[in-house]
Structure formats: C-alpha cells, structure tokens
Amino acid sequence: MHSQFDSILQVGERLRSYRLGRGLTPDDVAKHTGVSRAAIYRYESGQPIRVDVLGKIADFLDVSLSTLLGVGSEYTASALTFFERMRQIEATADHISVLFGPVSYLLTTDAFDDALRDILQESAPKEVVDCEHFREELDQILEVLRARKRAYRARRPGILSLVSSAELEQFATLGFVGTHDVREPERCRRREIARAEIRNIMTLITEQPIGVQIGIVEDSMPGTSFQLFRQGKHAQVAVSPFRLGLYANVRIGVASISSDQESLALHQRATEGLWKRSLKGVEAFKRLERILVECPPEVVHQLG
C-alpha cells in the first residue's frame, strides 16, 4: 500500500502536471499567488511545501487540495495533465497493464508518432476550438507522449496489453483518422499507417520481447480505457476518456487516477478476466492476420 508520506513526496509532480494542464508557467503561478518563482520551481522539484501555500496554489489552479496531496482520487479534464501524470507514474512502475483501444501507445511505432499530430489536429472541429491555443497544447501533449515512450523503451517495465479485435478491424477499415471526412487518396495512406501498427503488434507477438504480453480481446470492451500500474506493493489505476487511435480525443472528458483498494480490485479483476479469455500467441497472430486479409486496402478503397 502507498504510504501517505510517499504521496506527500509526490506533491511537486502533481503540481507540475496540473499547472501544465492549465497552460501556465511557473511565473504565472508565482504572479497570481504571491509565491516566488524560485519557490514554485523548488516545490515542483519535490521540496516540502506548507499546506497554506499549497492551498493558495490549489485555489489558483482550480484543483482540490486533496488531489494535489494525493489523498483519494485525482481527477482532471486535461489530457495534458493526464498524460504528464502517466509519464510520472510510469517512470517508477515495475509493471503496467493497459486496456486501451485500438492500440497501446507505449508499444506503437515511431511512424505512429509521426502521424499523430495530424490525427489530433483534425479531431478538433475548427469552429469549436481556439486553433492557436490548441496547437500550442498539442505541442506539449506530443512532447509528453514521446517522453513516455522514450522512458518506457529505456526502462522496459513489464507490460500487459489488451486490445480489441473489433476496434482493430475498424482501425484497418477506416484508417488512422481523427474525423470521418478524410478524403481519398489521403485515407488510403491513413489505412496503411493503421495496418502497419497491426503488423507491429503481430511482430511483437511473434518475437515475444521480454516483459511484453499481448492479448487480443474478442469480448465486449469497456467504453473507457484504463491502466494499472504496480511498483512493489503499491498500485494505482488510471481511467481515461482520452484516445490516441481511431477518432482520437484529447479534448473532452474527465480522467481519474486512484489508489483506492476497491477500485484497484475491480479493475484488476476485469483485467484478469479479459486476459484469461483473450487470444494469445499463435491464435492472436492468426486473428490479426485475418483482419488484414479480410480488409485489403484495395477493397476498402472501392467501398469508400
């Protein structure tokens, strides 16, 4: 179980995450709270912070004091905050269980990252977003995501990835798109990106890298993704509406991170059930192969 002392030591990490999610600099926080910029940097680096000062900062960031203290559950409507918290938690996790559709980000290729900006940009209707602000936030999101992938590849914690065959079929059919109205021939290129990610999953299944377990789920999947993180006896569960695959979403929804034992137990049980029923090894490879064969690009092109 995570001690309250450990939670308090991580206040600085949470403070940085929620500041980033609000699009603020340490100077902004210092200016509006009366706390020196140097102090903000110290707090974010993990040095102790008085509760009254933390309360003042929490009010300005519009986040609860309990969230910054790590007491109970954390909630955020910011994808940037959420992904930064994932980066922080993954930095020390020994094992990660991921239920994320249609692909698990940490196991995607560099080509996925190369295409991701376009997909995220087109997922946001121009008439409802501040395009300049959204582009700036995307820069930060992509930077955090790439940092997560670099850290994963450097540390190689164990990872159990559960992906939905139904979502992969849709991914192969529609391509890696952020909106429904992508035109040909661009859609053909997006389909090939999606198919390359499916082939990458097949390669991982075949080569079986140490610490990587992949299950292809034929069963119904939850409407939200979740991840379980374990570091020794400590565990956390992150539940997210944010998506990086087909019809990506980094704008709408509320994500949560919790160490609550009941929540952990329920999500662990769901993970174990899905893993037990999932296709693995040769069966998983053949299922993905069938998806690619039954949905060849030229047939999809004709249908489109």
- Answer whether residue 18 shows pLDDT above 50: yes
Domain range for 12 is 1-71
64: CATH:
1.10.260.40
Question: How large is the average pLDDT for residues 94-106?
Answer: 89
Q: What is the pLDDT of residue 303?
A: 41
Rounded to 10°, the helix 110-122/186-207 angle is 140
Q: 52 and 6 in one domain?
A: yes
- Answer whether residue 245 shows pLDDT above 60: yes
Q: What is the pLDDT of residue 99?
A: 87
CA angle 286, 290, 292 (to 5 degrees): 120
Q: 88 and 60 in one domain?
A: no
Neighbours of 138 (CB within 10 A): 18
CA distance 87 to 17: 10
Percent of the chain exceeding pLDDT 90 equals 69
**pLDDT-wise least confident of 29-33, 124-128, 164-168, 287-291:** 124-128
Q: 91 and 219 in one domain?
A: yes
C-alpha distances (whole Å) from 289 to each of 101, 190, 200 are 18, 19, 11
CA distance 304 to 297: 10
CA distance 42 to 220: 46
Question: Of 46, 71, 96, which residue constitutes the final position of a domain?
Answer: 71
- Answer whether residue 302 shows pLDDT above 50: no
108: CATH:
3.30.870.10
Q: 162 and 15 in one domain?
A: no
Q: Model confidence over 190-238: pLDDT tens digits?
A: 999 999 999 999 999 999 999 999 999 998 777 788 999 999 888 999 9
Question: Of 10, 44, 71, which residue constitutes the final position of a domain?
Answer: 71
Question: How large is the average pLDDT for residues 126-140?
Answer: 85
Whether 204 contacts 273, CB under 8 Å: no
Q: 156 and 28 in one domain?
A: no
Q: 114 and 239 in one domain?
A: yes
Dihedral sign of CA atoms 91, 94, 100, 105 in order:
positive
Percent of the chain exceeding pLDDT 70 equals 94
H helix count then E strand count, the chain: 14, 7
Average of per-residue pLDDT values in the chain: 89
Q: 182 and 263 in one domain?
A: yes
Q: 175 and 198 in one domain?
A: yes
- Answer whether residue 153 shows pLDDT above 80: yes
Q: 134 and 42 in one domain?
A: no
Q: 118 and 27 in one domain?
A: no
Q: 96 and 239 in one domain?
A: yes
Question: pLDDT-based confidence at 299, cuts 50/70/90?
Answer: very low
Buried b (16+ CB within 10 A) or exposed e, 107-116: bbbeebeebb
- Answer whether residue 8 shows pLDDT above 70: no
Number of domains in the chain: 2
- Answer whether residue 126 shows pLDDT above 90: no
Question: pLDDT-based confidence at 3, cuts 50/70/90?
Answer: low
* Nearest alpha carbon to residue 34 among 66, 6, 59: 59
Whether 67 contacts 75, CB under 8 Å: yes
Question: Of 52, 71, 90, which residue constitutes the final position of a domain?
Answer: 71
Q: 124 and 64 in one domain?
A: no
**Up-side HSE of residue 10: CA atoms within 13 Å toward CB?**
20
**pLDDT-wise least confident of 37-41, 156-160, 211-215:** 37-41
* Residues 298, 220, 210, 291, Cα dihedral to 10°: -20
Question: How large is the average pLDDT for residues 288-293?
Answer: 95
Whether 180 contacts 119, CB under 8 Å: no
- Answer whether residue 304 shows pLDDT above 50: no
